[in-house]
Amino acid sequence: MQAESSRAWGLAHHFDNFEQQREASYLGMWVFLVTEIMFFGGLFTAYVVYRSANARAFALGSKELDIGLGAFNTAVLIGSSLTMALAVWAAQQGRRKQIALFLVLTILLGGVFLGVKVVEYEAKIDHHLLPGPDFHFEVTEVDEILGVQEGNVQMFFNLYFAMTGLHALHMIIGIGVLLVMVVLALRGSFSRENHNLVECMGLYWHFVDIIWIFLFPLLYLLGRNL
């Protein structure tokens, strides 16, 4: 009983020390991220395969996307990676208030990103570009001669909404976890020895940012000049 009561707060009962717990947490997070890489890798592969068969149609779909908003969101996520890295640094130094500050900044930047995506989605819905029975894209006679069909363009938007939607879902989950971590930081739950949750969340957040770094050129830039 005395041994249990003398254990440091945050150290799980099946670990001898924080270093052992940290290594196990890193391993678990990396295994999870590998499964995520395979998941998104499948989506990227599907996009490349369909685009190679419908290059002109996908180029027309890409031209409907707002490069300015996409570039802005890219800058926002790069900024959020910086604030997340600073939160990890603050946790390693045991600076409670700075941990909370940088986590809040990361949350705000993540919220800005999601807000911009909502604006983009609303524009697509208003222009009847949401895949489904109401989808409509006017194909010119020239494009019809080149073999473009409305269904081919709809396939682009199927993948666009699937890939960006799943990415946004990962962002929402991440923001939810960060909110909990802000509360924990303000309560003094993190220290120089016990901060593996912050570091693991940093890995997750950087991964989500990297996924967008690939999505932006793939969806917004590739083949627009066709």
Q: How many domains does the chain have?
A: 1
> Per the domain annotation, does 2 fall within a domain?
no
Q: Where residue 144 sits, what CATH number does that domain have?
A: 1.20.120.80
Contact 168, 114 (CB under 8 A): yes
For the chain, give the mean pLDDT: 88
Helical axes 55-62 vs 150-186, angle rounded to 10°: 50
What pLDDT does 23 receive?
A: 74
CA 31/CA 45 separation, integer angstroms: 21
What pLDDT does 26 receive?
A: 77
Contact 36, 166 (CB under 8 A): no
Range of the domain at 178: 18-221
Residue 132 Rama label (left phi>0; alpha psi -120 to 50; beta) = left
What pLDDT does 192 receive?
A: 81
Question: What's the whole-model pTM score?
Answer: 0.88
Distances (CA, A) of 5 to 13, 19, 37, 159, 224: 11, 20, 41, 53, 63
> Residues of the chain whose pLDDT is less than 70?
1-22, 224-226
> Per the domain annotation, does 6 fall within a domain?
no
> Per the domain annotation, does 9 fall within a domain?
no
> Per the domain annotation, does 144 fall within a domain?
yes
> Per the domain annotation, does 38 fall within a domain?
yes
